[in-house]
A and B are shown apart, each in its own frame.
Chain A
């Protein structure tokens, strides 16, 4: 145990001091922040337009357009749409201004929209103006029947249809759980690929630098492998937590509401995150020991990456049909369970006995994989030169 801890500690210390860790941390933090903040910066905030007006009836259309565009806004928010207007005496004057780029569109006599070229047809403002004009005609018709304009606008911007699924109402909470399960799955997938490949190259580097022989003279192969998995896993977890904190901060900044998570669901996600990481980390370590050079390592690890991708796809299938055969089998196989089970839990579609069985099988799988990996590791680590075949490593395991 002592050696296991020492190996893990070394991995963490050296990892923390390496440029790679610093850079990947900064890059993922930047990426996550950008992914969350960019849509807000680009799409969010206020859409600003400048529209030219000619003749009677044009100003009313623009007014209506602004009211329509902002009808769904909540109090105190920045308006979604703001339209600046410029008046011109004649159509020709307006067209000249349009061509010089002073305005992006020109409304003439409340009957025509002139654009610079047809390419920007359907640009935000055109659609809005069309809707506004339609609403105004409606208003005119309805006003004859004594209706008021405000009611029209409210009606036009409401969602009168109830949205359901075959399971019943698409309640908001269920949707949020679903999103959380999806996010957790992608996080796991990313973690497996990123930190799995750290473990992979770490093991290969020990082999290619030949330091492994001195190490193994004092340490059992399973300690070396286990320490690496724990050390790099710990580092990865730290980086992950940092990233998630950054993500939450960014989300908070945008003002998007964070779905409140039930503790059980969160605990389930964390449990499967750890189980999934361990399953794959051990396999990546074993794969790394088969390669002698860093260049070979990715090739050797191909099957592991493929399995992770397969897990992701099976979890999509589980989303479609959470109680189907694929989902059930996927929950029981340790490689795919970390992807499938959280989804089924989020959809409330897994019986407790299947859940218990899948956790048990995953843990059993990890124990078995550590032994298999330890054996491959010991059989392959002292074979330098070419890539070691799985079978040869298994046979010549000596440690």
Chain B
């Protein structure tokens, strides 16, 4: 099968949703492409959870829709979706294996397939020995793993994960990252929200940044960075930085600490003269000239 990687598969199409006076979604549009993991970013209350809930019909948008392969998502097609809600929760009294089988079957699997998949997930998450333990007997971290397995036990084509990394220890973060990477590599559409921008930068090819219910930045991370009108210039320099920076055009920001200086400058500023001058007027030990980080893009976008 040839997967057309550029064909958008999951489309958030101009979603609007108000709760009383609160506009949770105000024209939220973006696309998730199979095989390209998308990081869904935004400050608290921006509308991430509301948008994700709209996929599953957990909230009904006032207008707009979520399309999957060109058709509105229904409960019946939702069996190909996996959802990890922000509000985690499992049946505390159920045994792990039973719970995963139940989740698999609710998503359309046969009993045998669900049991096999539950086994392999428990194995993979290192919980095989605890298959008959009750959920409530597990540590917080292990409950999180089971939550992930519950979302993915039916091998969904689309994964929607609301802050999957929050509250995870570094080992669990690695497990989670591995699972998501693998899923994207298999051509699945993966979208997750997170406040851990370094992680997003590591994992995601694409991002969508939402602010006040509206997606303000969307696209390929690398291209977004390239397209940024700013660059980041960092130098370790002993000398008069004020004098030096004053001679440079288009400096937007300067942060200095202990001989280390961060400058935000226009992308088209020529820095060759600046570097030459730095070497003349003081001691320039290191320098780096980079596109802005995802954090920079984020701050810029939601300012």
CB within 8 Å of B: which residues of A? 3, 6, 10, 13-14, 18, 206, 209-220, 382, 384, 396, 398-399
Contacts and interface: CB of A to CB of B under 8 A. Distances in A.
A217 B92 contact: no
Interface stretch (B5-13, B36-44, B100-108, B290-298): B100-108
B90 A217 contact: no
A207 to B, nearest CB: 9
Given A209-B92, A213-B87, A399 B58 contact: yes
Given A14-B93, A14-B94, A209-B90, A214 B58 contact: no
Given A6-B102, A211-B91, A399 B57 contact: yes
Nearest to A396: B19
Given A210-B85, A213-B85, A399-B60, A218 B93 contact: no
B60 to A, nearest CB: 4
Interface stretch (B74-82, B227-235, B266-274): B74-82
A214 B105 contact: no
A211 B90 contact: yes
Interface of B: 19, 53, 56-60, 75, 78-79, 81, 83-85, 87-94, 98, 102-103, 105-107, 150-151
A95 B205 CA distance: 107
A212 B91 CA distance: 9
A18 B93 contact: yes
A114 B57 CA distance: 86
A214 B103 contact: yes
Given A214-B103, A382-B58, 4 more contacts: A14-B93, A210-B88, A214-B150, A217-B78
B91 A217 contact: no
**Chain A interface main SS type:** loop
A218 B78 contact: yes
A399 B57 CA distance: 6
Contacts of B78: 217-218
Contacts of A14: 91, 93-94
Contact of A398 (B57, B85, B89, B91): B57
A159 B24 CA distance: 82
A213 B150 contact: no
B81 A217 contact: yes
9 contacts: A6-B102, A209-B91, A211-B91, A214-B84, A214-B90, A216-B56, A217-B83, A382-B58, A384-B87
Given A217-B56, A217-B58, A3 B106 contact: yes
Contacts of B56: 216-218
B79 A213 contact: no
Contacts, number: 67
A215 B59 contact: no
Contacts of A214: 83-85, 89-90, 103, 150-151
Contacts of A219: 75, 106
A188 to B, nearest CB: 29
Contacts of A396: 19
A220 B19 CA distance: 22
A382 B57 CA distance: 12
Nearest to B17: A398
Nearest to B20: A396
Contacts of A399: 57-58, 60
A214 B102 CA distance: 12
Residue among A18, A209, A210 with max Cβ neighbours from chain B (10 Å): A209
A209 B84 CA distance: 14
B136 to A, nearest CB: 9
Nearest to A5: B105
Q: Which 9 A-B pairs have the closest CB atoms?
A: A210-B89, A217-B56, A398-B60, A213-B85, A211-B89, A217-B83, A210-B87, A218-B106, A398-B59
A269 to B, nearest CB: 35
B58 A398 contact: yes
Residue among B85, B89, B90, B105 with max Cβ neighbours from chain A (10 Å): B89
A213 B53 CA distance: 9
Contacts of B94: 14
B58 A213 contact: yes
Contacts of A213: 58, 83, 85, 87, 89
A210 B89 CA distance: 4
B105 A6 contact: yes
Contacts of B88: 210
Nearest to B90: A211
Given A216-B58, A217-B78, A6 B92 contact: no
Contacts of A3: 106
A391 to B, nearest CB: 13
